[in-house]
Amino acid sequence: MSVDAAPVSELPDPRDFGLPVVTEDDLPDELGTLVARVHDLVDAVAHTEAGSAELAQASATVHELTERLNVKRRDIGAMLERPRSDGGADYETLTNVVSGRSNPAAPPLVLEHTDDGVRARVTLNGTYQGPPGLAHGGWVAAMLDQVLGSASAAAGMVGLTANLDVNYRNPTPLNAPLELTARVTGTERRKVFVSAEIRHNGEVTAEGTAVMVRLDVPG
């Protein structure tokens, strides 16, 4: 496959797309704690067998908290800027539903760069359930989509998924450590070809390939 969509060393700055950018210093430590606790709260709500009085009280407390937090809201599309060791910057969508730092709905997926792409580790709790006791196939696809996009971005080619193919090889378990890996396999003009796998205990549960179409900076 030809390689004519040359990777760029400088990732596009989200500000050039009109997106708001926040830095890690802009995020209080308490936000991370709140996100983790609300993530656990969702799991608790999904599985609680508490009685009606307790449920009514919890519901009122949550409603009051929602109103307090909504007093000051961040714009949608906010990007988190993270400094790289080489002086450049990495960017991630702050409320990305798979890996967003401020999104309690995110699994949470911890992603790192590797020599040939990216690797992520995640444990899905019971709120990602599809078939009884197993991860929902849509979430499996969403996690693959995320690492596929991240592998393209890590190679300097930020893009949108144009096509995603998923093969479900084995059931993906809940409440068990999963490893995701992804890499760029080729490029052709603006197209970036990427492949990824999800493994549990070394066994592939799902694999995906995608065509990302690289974004051009406006102007």
- Positions touching ligand MFK (CB under 6 A) are 91-92, 145-146, 149-150, 153, 158, 160-163, 188-191, 211, 213
Query: Residues 65, 34: contact at Cβ < 8 Å?
Result: no
Q: 134 - beta bridge partners? A: 173
Which CB atom, from 87 or from 132, has the smaller least distance to ligand MFK? Answer: 87
| CA end-to-end span of the chain | 29
Q: How far is the CB of 196 from ligand MFK (least distance, A)?
A: 11
Q: How far is the CB of 121 from ligand MFK (least distance, A)?
A: 17
Of 184, 186, 181, nearest to 207 by C-alpha is: 181
Main-chain phi, psi angles of 144, to 5 degrees: -65, -45
Which CB atom, from 21 or from 58, has the smaller least distance to ligand MFK? Answer: 21
Q: How far is the CB of 181 from ligand MFK (least distance, A)?
A: 15
**List 13, 25, 145, 165, catalytic entry:** 145
CA angle 19, 89, 81 (to 5 degrees): 45
Which CB atom, from 52 or from 151, has the smaller least distance to ligand MFK? Answer: 151
Cα–Cα dist 215/65, whole Å: 39
Which CB atom, from 92 or from 116, has the smaller least distance to ligand MFK? Answer: 92
Q: How far is the CB of 211 from ligand MFK (least distance, A)?
A: 4
Cα–Cα dist 130/166, whole Å: 16
Q: 161 - beta bridge partners? A: 212
Query: Residues 155, 148: contact at Cβ < 8 Å?
Result: no
Which CB atom, from 46 or from 110, has the smaller least distance to ligand MFK? Answer: 110
Is 4 assigned a catalytic role? no
Q: How far is the CB of 216 from ligand MFK (least distance, A)?
A: 8
- The residue number with the shortest CB distance to ligand MFK is 149
Query: Residues 153, 79: contact at Cβ < 8 Å?
Result: no
Residues known to be catalytic: 145
